[in-house]
Every structure is written in C-alpha cells, then in structure tokens.
Amino acid sequence: MPAAGLPTTLDGTNRGNASNGEFAAAPIPPSPWRSPVRAVREHLRDPLFSGTYLLILTVAAQAVSGLAFWIIAAQLFDNRTVGRDAALIAAGRMISTLCQFNLFGSLPRWLTRVHRPERLILRSYALTGAGSIVLGFAFLIIAPHVSSTFNLLHDDPKMAVAYVAGIALWTVISIQDAALIGLRFTRWVAPEAALFGIAQIGFLIAFNKTSVNYPLIVAFFLPAALLLLPMSFLLFRSACRRQR
C-alpha cells in the first residue's frame, strides 16, 4: 500500500515525497517515432542482421563483377576463345563445387564448437584442395573423349596444370570465405569479393595485349592465387586468435 496522503500513479506507486512538498514527474514513455538513423544503427548492431546484409552485398558484388567480366571478354576476344574458355571455366567451377564436400555450409557451424579452429580450417583446405586436383586431372583425361573443346591436356600441358591449380585455389578460397563467416568476420568477405572482381577484369584487359593462351581462364583464376595468402594471414592471425 502506498503511504497515506501521497499521490500515486495508476500502478499504485508514489510519485514523490509529500514531506517537502515536492513531487517527481511521472516517467515519460519512449516515443514510438524514433529517429530513422538511430533505428537503423540499432538494427545493424545485431551481428545476425549486419552479417546477413554483408553477405547480400558480397553476392551483389560478385554478380556485378561477373557480368562485367563476360561483357568485356565478349568485346575483347573472338567468339572461339570466349566459348572455349567459358566452357572450361564452367567445368572448373562445377568441379570446385563438388570438391567442397558441402563444407561451405557446414564448416561455419563446426568452427563455433572447437577451441583451435585453425586446425580444422587447414584440414578443410587440404581435403578440398586435394579433391579438386584429383577430380580436375580426371576431368582433363576423360572430357576430351566427349568434346575436343576440353582437349587442354594434349594441346597445352603446362596450361592444363595451371588450370587444375586454379580449380584447387578457387575451392580453397571458397572454404576460406566459409571460415571467415563462421568466425564472424563477415566484414572481410565483401571487400575481398570486390577486389577479386576488379582483379579479374584488370587481368582480362591486360591479357588482351599479350599472346597468353586461354586468357579468360588465367584472368578468372589468377586473383585467387594473389588473394589466398593475405586473406589466410588475416584469417589465422586475427579471426582464429579471437575464437580461442
């Protein structure tokens, strides 16, 4: 029961002290019309939402850079080169997807349960990279019996080795992105995707002035070799240490 003689609120609590004649004002409820900027900031503080939006930006950056890559390729190179390299790139990406063994979706969940995530990441690198190399060479041996477009191993053995290495690098850097997502370092994935796309287009334009065989394949996979080491350094140096 509130003290006698003191005004009360609807919930029965005292508003103030009647002994000195002063009464506290009733608390003002927060306005439902908050500042939109403040509301957005509070929304983005949630790691779930901010990470989701960064992944959306990553997909958008990859889509835009991919579209630009093929538009520029069609303008710079003849139809035969574009068609041949596009078929090999599509086959390489399919091999890479198969050799990820669904780790892109499952690795982030496992990383939250281990004390030393770098061991699991390195094992994932080794497993998926080795699988890509084996399946890549198997493809180069079998595919020419289906179409002469895939006769890369016979036409240019050095390029065939580089092609398989590119597939393995593409697979490993995809697993790297999964590890960054699992360790809640999603903010690095979107800039990496943007740099990757810019580098692909830059190499594509540069190779137009050279006699590089299979220029689209080299331009497509080479950025993976350049970004893998620095991104792995950041992954193991910062993200994995934070998880411990």
Q: How many domains, the chain? A: 1
Say yes or no to pLDDT of 111 above 60.
yes
Say yes or no to pLDDT of 11 above 50.
no
Say yes or no to pLDDT of 129 above 90.
yes
Q: For residue 108, is it within any domain?
A: yes
Tell me the average pLDDT across 5-16: 48
Tell me the average pLDDT across 98-108: 91
Q: For residue 202, is it within any domain?
A: yes
Q: For residue 45, is it within any domain?
A: no
User: What Cα–Cα distance (Å) separates residue 241 from each residue in 115, 117, 118?
Assistant: 10, 9, 9
Which of 79-93, 140-154, 201-215 shows the highest mean pLDDT?
A: 79-93
Is the Cβ–Cβ distance between 178 and 107 less than 8 Å? yes
Domain span including residue 143: 51-243
User: Tens of pLDDT along 186-242?
Assistant: 888 888 888 999 999 999 999 988 888 899 999 999 999 999 999 988 888 877 776
pTM score:
0.78
